[in-house]
Structure 1
Amino acid sequence: MNKIVRAMWNGEIKIITGLRRCGKSVLLFELFYDYLLSQGVKDEQIVRIALDQRRFYRYRNPIVLCESVESLIQKESKKRFYLLLDEVQMTSTALDSESGGISVTVYDMLNELKAYKNLDMYVTGSNSRGLSSDVATEFRGRATQIRVYPLSFAELYSHVGGDERAALDRYMLYGGMPRLLSLDDEKDKKDYLMSLYNELYLKDIAERNGVEREDLMNGILDYLASQIGSLTNPTAVANALTSMRREKVNPSLVSNYIQYSLDSFLISEAKRFDVKGKSYFKYPNKYYYTDLGLRNARLNYRQFDPGHIMENVIYNELVRRGYSVDVGVVSDRAGGGNVRKEIDFVVNDTNRRIYIQSALRMDMESKTSSELASLWLTNDFFKKIVIRMDLLHSYYDENGIFHCALGDFLLNRVELF
């Protein structure tokens, strides 16, 4: 909400993206709508079009959409209007008879509407390809992108309260899809998440991208769900599926299907960054689920690895806060060798950087040494943090490394930078 309010009347189209059912429509059509009314904006100045509702189907034709909005704002040129357009990926391409049958997209029409100084536009979409993989190009560099995520732990805990650790355990199991707050029964929660995954996300990805091998796509998502926090690449995934399915799986097809899942915001990709060489590796990378409840439902709650799940939670929280997050790689040349060691997260915020390790517990000296070794290999002065689940309170050790309790991090009780 704060991001949307700050972007009002900035001369750009506001693009609100995110996983389906994570709250984009509520944010725009309820919270922001109520905010506008509270600021004295009249209801007739707010044009709300939900393209997934039957009464608005005609506006899926971008020409009809544009002409309808134009007729309103031209008639009342001295008034300010707000266009709230939901699920823009449902629009189609139209032929403009007045220009000789040229194909027209919703991007063309929104760019045309953008010329009106008395109109401020807000658009939601659940698929980056539905909004184009390059929004800046389609909207000619004049769009503000706002990403919406499932509930953070802080948001969820502000609602459920009670024992903090018990709430965190539930969050790591069921995730943060908003509707879960209205469900009390454990089976109802599991059924809801399974239904979302199978009946909404998988079908949406398959239909939107013309996926012919849905069984293969399912296998890829199963594999990625079981490998969160582990380095992998399309070739490794293809080899694993080839072994399991006893049929040759093409790595290029795997790469395409992974990209479809990324485009749908179902998963995220963290690239590997050479801290000393200051360059990125092409492969392997790590993949994380945008919502852990969906990940756990995908695996039918059979594979609950708290260490990797905790790492996924930390990654999601860092990205949600707007940081650039990579997987760090440092070289250990001790003894004449060249061993690459991993830093879980290299976190950048403009010109600032921190290094973060995720550690479920550090109750043995060997575990402590292994977690801290890669941090020391950076040989720089950026802040170094170990986020741990086995701490009651956060503290700095004698070497200046910040040991941060997971709850303190997720509930914003400590400053990272």
Structure 2
Amino acid sequence: MTLKISRDKYLEDLIGRMHNGLIKVITGLRRSGKSYLLFDIFKNYLLEHNTDEKHIIEMSLDQRKNKQYRNPDIILEYIESAIVDDKQYYIFLDEVQMLEDFEEVLNSLLPIKNLDIYVTGSNSKFLSKDIITQFRGRGDEIHVFPLTFKEFMQIYDGDEYHGFSEYVTYGGLPLVATMKTDEQKIKYLKNLFEETYLKDIKERYKIEKLQEMEDLIKVLASAVGSLSNPSRIADTFKSSLKSDISMNTIKNYIVYLEESFLIHEANRYDVKGRKYIGTPLKYYFEDVGLRNAKLEFRQMEETHLMENIIYNELRARGFQVDVGMVEKKEKNKKGFYEKKRLEVDFIANKGSNKYYIQSAYSLLTPEKVQQEKNSLLNINDSFKKIIIVKDVIKPQRDDNGIAGISLFDFLLEENSLEL
């Protein structure tokens, strides 16, 4: 990475986990900056805080010159021979999945009291969400997201409005953010999807009909921000693609995409009933640039992309994010009351904090304002209710306590939800 991007949240995450007796496992989408975080940002922190460089044992296992260290006995001997005193040592292993029996190697290192262990990995085997179970409960995961908009703006040479236009189109993969031309970015994102992510998934899960997986990704990309489920997707395959792909296959493929961190599932929650509904639910892409690349940069509806970006931002801030539903009784034309379901775009939970959030590209008419407020007005608890709008507005609250903030304030201010 030629330009320096500070990733303070993740550095703080690593600092807070130092010497906790667990294996720090840095997970995330490929090319999201895991190696840079460990080998540049965190290493520099250790050196600046008086760690002797000889006490940092680092190994990039994907490099040809280190091929011999992929043997578990050789690397164990190397690490143990490098520990020559009782002072604190740090071990960094990059692309640890290339190490044979890496789970056994790491579990063998854990009993060494003056050794603090940090690992990253990039193929689909390592990126599986259940990797922590491989370490028998002794792993501590730090999930690295692509750049947030605030991180992106550290290196973007321009104002936040032009910056957002770039970000909503090409996403936040760090290398993409450093590229100068549209052609470079488009080629990189499309090749990365085809030559890296899809190949990893194909090899791990031994998928024979890769075209069905590609078609599924396109269907999910087109449906960002919309309620969906495997049954609806199967209907789309049948009607639009003339394919008889089974629901079980669709379910399995969605799991594979989730385990590789390409997409994430947002469950649906009944606010008044205080329970999860199940399907339908929503799927969001971990990086909108990859989503756009899969659709050949067509279908660039900024309302849905803005919603995806807000979802990713909330998750990057450590929130558990669901999509909400509120029931309201309304009179129909015949004068009878009937139940109407209103959607809450996001319910963000972290500890005792909860926020109900609507994403609105624009609020140009009173009707649109009322439409966005309807679901929030029917939630009868004291947690904060917020509408995030693309329009530039000052943070404000209406007579019902519903807050309105600009998308740019939300993305660029760390404590924006408290404004």
TM-score, normalization by structure 1 = 0.92
Aligned partners of 1:288 and 1:410: how far apart in 2?
18
Alignment of 1:241-390 (within 5 A): 241-335=237-331, 336-390=337-391
Indicate the residue corresponding to 1:102 in structure 2: none
Indicate the residue corresponding to 1:38 in structure 2: 48
Shift of 1:135: 4.2
Indicate the residue corresponding to 1:90 in structure 2: 98
* CA spacing shift, 1:413–1:11, aligned 2, 3 Å: closer
Aligned partners of 2:302 and 2:27: how far apart in 1?
29
Residue among 176, 183, 199 paired with 1:180 = 176
Instruction: Name the SS for the 1:121 alignment partner.
Output: strand
Aligned partners of 1:409 and 1:161: how far apart in 2?
21
Aligned partners of 2:208 and 2:99: how far apart in 1?
23
Shift of 1:63: 4.2
**Amino acid aligned to 1:20:** R
Indicate the residue corresponding to 2:12 in structure 1: 2
Shift of 1:413: 6.2
Indicate the residue corresponding to 1:170 in structure 2: 166
| Identical pairs, percent | 44
Shift of 1:223: 0.6
Instruction: Name the SS for the 1:285 alignment partner.
Output: strand
Aligned partners of 1:366 and 1:191: how far apart in 2?
42
**Amino acid aligned to 1:343:** V
Please say if residues 25 and 140 of structure 2, whose CA atoms lie closer than 8 Å, have aligned partners that are also in contact: yes
* CA spacing shift, 1:413–1:391, aligned 2, 3 Å: farther
Please say if residues 66 and 110 of structure 1, whose CA atoms lie closer than 8 Å, have aligned partners that are also in contact: no
Please say if residues 34 and 120 of structure 2, whose CA atoms lie closer than 8 Å, have aligned partners that are also in contact: yes
Between stretches 78-87 and 309-318, larger displacement belongs to 78-87
* CA spacing shift, 1:283–1:90, aligned 2, 3 Å: farther
Shift of 1:207: 1.3
Matched, 1:233 2:229: yes
* CA spacing shift, 1:123–1:376, aligned 2, 3 Å: same
Alignment of 1:74-89 (within 5 A): 76-89=84-97
The CA deviation string for residues 368-393 of structure 1, in whole angstroms up to 9 with x for no partner, is 11111111111111100000002332
Instruction: Name the SS for the 2:278 alignment partner.
Output: coil
The CA deviation string for residues 210-250 of structure 1, in whole angstroms up to 9 with x for no partner, is 11111000000011111111111122112211223323111
Instruction: Name the SS for the 1:337 alignment partner.
Output: strand
Indicate the residue corresponding to 1:121 in structure 2: 117
Indicate the residue corresponding to 2:190 in structure 1: 194
Please say if residues 19 and 265 of structure 1, whose CA atoms lie closer than 8 Å, have aligned partners that are also in contact: yes
Indicate the residue corresponding to 1:100 in structure 2: none
Root-mean-square deviation (CA, aligned residues, Å) is 1.8
Shift of 1:128: 7.1
* CA spacing shift, 1:207–1:135, aligned 2, 3 Å: closer
Shift of 1:161: 4.6
The CA deviation string for residues 44-68 of structure 1, in whole angstroms up to 9 with x for no partner, is 2211122222223333344443343
Residue among 18, 35, 42 paired with 1:25 = 35
Aligned partners of 1:71 and 1:284: how far apart in 2?
55
* CA spacing shift, 1:413–1:146, aligned 2, 3 Å: closer
**Amino acid aligned to 2:88:** R
Aligned partners of 2:140 and 2:359: how far apart in 1?
32
Please say if residues 90 and 130 of structure 1, whose CA atoms lie closer than 8 Å, have aligned partners that are also in contact: no
Aligned partners of 1:301 and 1:133: how far apart in 2?
29
Shift of 1:284: 1.4
Shift of 1:334: 3.0
Please say if residues 393 and 405 of structure 2, whose CA atoms lie closer than 8 Å, have aligned partners that are also in contact: no
Aligned partners of 1:64 and 1:285: how far apart in 2?
48
Between stretches 304-313 and 206-215, larger displacement belongs to 206-215
* CA spacing shift, 1:342–1:141, aligned 2, 3 Å: same
Aligned partners of 2:182 and 2:215: how far apart in 1?
26
Residue among 42, 64, 74 paired with 1:54 = 64
Q: Which ranges of structure 1 fall in alignment gaps of 5 or more residues?
A: 93-104
* CA spacing shift, 1:402–1:304, aligned 2, 3 Å: same
Aligned partners of 1:333 and 1:410: how far apart in 2?
35
Please say if residues 123 and 200 of structure 2, whose CA atoms lie closer than 8 Å, have aligned partners that are also in contact: no
Aligned partners of 1:59 and 1:210: how far apart in 2?
28
Q: Which ranges of structure 2 fall in alignment gaps of 5 or more residues?
A: 1-10, 332-336
Instruction: Name the SS for the 1:370 alignment partner.
Output: helix
Instruction: Name the SS for the 2:25 alignment partner.
Output: strand
Please say if residues 224 and 282 of structure 2, whose CA atoms lie closer than 8 Å, have aligned partners that are also in contact: yes
Alignment of 1:82-161 (within 5 A): 82-92=90-100, 105-126=101-122, 129-130=125-126, 133-161=129-157
Instruction: Name the SS for the 1:17 alignment partner.
Output: strand
**Amino acid aligned to 1:84:** F
Indicate the residue corresponding to 1:72 in structure 2: 82
Aligned partners of 2:282 and 2:71: how far apart in 1?
39
Aligned partners of 1:84 and 1:127: how far apart in 2?
17
**Amino acid aligned to 1:157:** M
Aligned partners of 1:235 and 1:57: how far apart in 2?
46
Q: How many residues align?
A: 403
Indicate the residue corresponding to 2:401 in structure 1: 400
Aligned partners of 1:277 and 1:60: how far apart in 2?
53
Instruction: Name the SS for the 1:403 alignment partner.
Output: strand
